[in-house]
């Protein structure tokens, strides 16, 4: 049995002597997962991935899945909500495991909001070692960023949490970033994070233990079913899909044309409506004009780029369809109460605690001129 792996799936929270005893007396697990945790990781993403594996073992009546947790130095690490999780070992032990005959069947990387600063040389070397040994990797939430920095994505399809998507796309221009729950490409899987890891791991359970076991796990978690990786993450257009197909089409069109905003006439032509019909739809459903709503979407995109990239203000302005930095700054101040530079200057703590909300709830429409 490969010692670095916990035999009871306890995230390193059980007594080490008990685990060693289990390694001797219990059978070898069929599927071993190595979890790499970085400071500030999302506890929601981690739990959404691990708890279904625990339940799958319970439903199957045996320890099919097992997992270990490693951190850079082998010490406990704090998640974004302040809870500390202890580790089984350091990254170096995972490196040794990957190079052994009992290598893990999957390495899962879990990170948080400050992922841009966490691509250390040992971590990048570990990820590249996984690629050389063809060990499947899964990046949860923002961890896709680390795969991009490691040069492991190239032009392959990938995904990341929607809040980080504009920054990833602008920083790594060659990536093929998709707005999916999760994307699998060969040995690399990227996942949007949040609850999306649940749907990813349910596919793994279904493939390994059958749909009946997966359905039983869903039943236990009160989930009606799991979603396909090709399902979209949150989009502003999605909330209108059930009430107005035209509104959904218009907003989806706006979202695809952030850098090159379309005139209202062209938008109306694309959906087969008149300008006045489009204006009435927006007045009915969001109580503002179509172009003001469009401006909100563009400013929300700009806000994400300010928070998650080091792009100059002028580049952000251009990327969000503004003709000048001064016009962009005026609109941004009207929306958020401070200039782009002031917003970027906020403390990192404030940035971590900030929650991005849907555009119509984010702005005082009367303040935007």
Examine the domain organization and report whether 163 and 281 are in the same domain: no
Task: Compute the distance between CA of residue 79 and CA of residue 117 in angstroms, rounded to an integer.
Answer: 16
In the block, tokens 């790594």 appear at 172
Q: pTM for this structure?
A: 0.69
Q: What share of the chain is helix, strand, coil (3-state, %, to 5)?
A: 50, 10, 40
Please write the tens of the pLDDT for every residue from 294-332.
999 999 989 988 888 888 999 999 999 999 999 999 999
What integer is the mean pLDDT of 42-66? 94
Task: Compute the distance between CA of residue 115 and CA of residue 180 in angstroms, rounded to an integer.
Answer: 20
Which residue, 219, 277, 271, 272, is CA-closest to 250?
271
Examine the domain organization and report whether 209 and 299 are in the same domain: no
Examine the domain organization and report whether 184 and 271 are in the same domain: no
Examine the domain organization and report whether 166 and 257 are in the same domain: no
How does the average pLDDT of the chain come out, rounded?
83
pLDDT band at residue 241 under the 50/70/90 scheme: low
What integer is the mean pLDDT of 103-115? 92
Task: Compute the distance between CA of residue 351 and CA of residue 347 in angstroms, rounded to an integer.
Answer: 6
Residue 200 lies in a domain: yes
pLDDT band at residue 237 under the 50/70/90 scheme: low
Where a domain ends, among 185, 220, 255? 220
pLDDT of res. 244: 79
pLDDT of res. 173: 81
Task: Compute the distance between CA of residue 321 and CA of residue 347 in angstroms, rounded to an integer.
Answer: 27
Examine the domain organization and report whether 208 and 250 are in the same domain: no
Residue 206 lies in a domain: yes
Residue 349 lies in a domain: yes
Residue 180 lies in a domain: yes
pLDDT band at residue 123 under the 50/70/90 scheme: very high
Please write the tens of the pLDDT for every residue from 9-42.
434 433 433 443 344 334 557 999 999 999 999 9
Q: What element of type H or E holds 292?
A: helix 290-308
Contact 183, 157 (CB under 8 A): yes
Examine the domain organization and report whether 89 and 189 are in the same domain: yes
Tokens of 160: 């990341």
Residue 15 φ then ψ, to 5°? -65, 135
Decide if pLDDT at 152 tops 80: yes
Task: Compute the distance between CA of residue 29 and CA of residue 109 in angstroms, rounded to an integer.
Answer: 21
What integer is the mean pLDDT of 196-210? 94
Measure Cα distances from 337 to 168, 302, 348, 351 in Å: 26, 14, 18, 16
pLDDT of res. 20: 37
Question: Within 10 A of 189 (CB to CB), how many other CB atoms are there?
Answer: 24
Which DSSP string do the residues of 154-208 spell out, in sequence order? TTSEE---TTTHHHHHHHSTT-EE--BSEEEETTEEEE--TTHHHHHHHHHHHHH
pLDDT of res. 316: 92
pLDDT of res. 216: 93
Residue 2 lies in a domain: no
Examine the domain organization and report whether 309 and 171 are in the same domain: no
pLDDT of res. 238: 59
Residue 282 lies in a domain: yes
Examine the domain organization and report whether 175 and 251 are in the same domain: no
Decide if pLDDT at 217 tops 60: yes
Decide if pLDDT at 366 tops 80: no
Where a domain ends, among 188, 220, 252? 220
In the block, tokens 């049995």 appear at 1
- Which CATH number fits the domain that encloses residue 125? 3.40.50.880
**Across 48-62, 165-179, 284-298, least confident range:** 165-179
pLDDT of res. 361: 36
- Beta strand 65-71 with 89-90 is parallel
More confident residue, 1 or 247: 247
Q: Is the Cα torsion angle 103, 106, 111, 115 positive or negative in sign? A: positive
Residue 31 lies in a domain: yes
**Across 56-65, 191-200, 207-216, 243-252, least confident range:** 243-252
Please write the tens of the pLDDT for every residue from 174-192.
888 888 899 998 899 999 9
pLDDT of res. 348: 41
Examine the domain organization and report whether 253 and 298 are in the same domain: yes
pLDDT of res. 252: 86
Task: Compute the distance between CA of residue 218 and CA of residue 225 in angstroms, rounded to an integer.
Answer: 6
Task: Compute the distance between CA of residue 192 and CA of residue 111 in angstroms, rounded to an integer.
Answer: 12
Where a domain ends, among 157, 192, 220? 220
Examine the domain organization and report whether 242 and 362 are in the same domain: yes
pLDDT band at residue 164 under the 50/70/90 scheme: confident
Decide if pLDDT at 145 tops 90: yes
- Beta strand 176-177 with 31-37 is unpaired
Examine the domain organization and report whether 198 and 301 are in the same domain: no
The domain containing residue 127 runs over which residues? 16-220
Residue 6 lies in a domain: no
Total number of domains in the chain = 2
Tell me how far the alpha carbon of residue 312 is from its chain's centroid. Answer: 24
Examine the domain organization and report whether 125 and 27 are in the same domain: yes
pLDDT cut 70: percent of the chain above it:
83
Please write the tens of the pLDDT for every residue from 219-231.
899 887 787 777 7
């Amino acid at each position: 049995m490969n010692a670095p792996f916990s035999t009871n799936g306890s995230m390193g929270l059980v007594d080490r002597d008990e685990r060693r005893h289990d390694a001797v007396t219990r059978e070898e697990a069929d599927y071993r997962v190595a979890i790499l945790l970085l400071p500030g990781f999302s506890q929601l993403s981690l739990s959404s991935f691990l708890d279904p594996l625990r339940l799958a073992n319970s439903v199957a009546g045996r320890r099919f899945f097992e997992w270990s947790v490693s951190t850079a130095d082998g010490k406990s690490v704090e998640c974004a909500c302040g809870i500390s999780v202890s580790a089984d070992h350091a990254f170096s032990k995972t490196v040794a495991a990957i190079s052994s005959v009992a290598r893990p069947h999957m390495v899962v990387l879990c990170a948080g909001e400050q992922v841009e600063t966490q691509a250390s040389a040992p971590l990048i070397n570990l990820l590249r070692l996984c690629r050389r040994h063809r060990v499947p990797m899964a990046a949860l939430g923002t961890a896709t960023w680390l795969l991009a920095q490691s040069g492991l994505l190239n032009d392959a399809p990938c995904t990341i949490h929607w809040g980080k998507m504009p920054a990833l796309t602008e920083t790594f221009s060659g990536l093929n970033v998709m707005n999916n729950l999760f994307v699998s490409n060969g040995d690399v899987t990227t996942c949007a994070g949040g609850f999306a890891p649940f749907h990813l791991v349910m596919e793994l359970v279904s493939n390994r233990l059958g749909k009946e076991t997966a359905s039983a796990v869903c039943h236990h978690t009160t989930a009606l079913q799991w979603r396909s990786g090709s399902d979209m993450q949150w989009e502003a257009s999605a909330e209108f899909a059930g009430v107005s197909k035209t509104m959904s089409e218009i907003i989806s069109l706006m979202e695809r044309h952030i850098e090159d905003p379309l005139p209202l006439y062209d938008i109306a032509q694309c959906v087969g409506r008149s300008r006045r019909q489009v204006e009435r739809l927006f007045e009915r459903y969001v109580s503002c004009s179509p172009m003001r709503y469009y401006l909100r979407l563009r400013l929300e995109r700009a806000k994400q780029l300010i928070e998650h990239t080091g792009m100059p203000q002028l580049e952000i302005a251009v990327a969000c369809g503004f003709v000048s930095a001064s016009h962009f700054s005026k609109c941004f101040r009207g929306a958020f109460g401070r200039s782009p530079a002031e917003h970027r200057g906020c403390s990192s703590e404030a940035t971590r605690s900030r929650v991005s909300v849907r555009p119509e709830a984010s702005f005082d429409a009367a303040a935007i001129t």
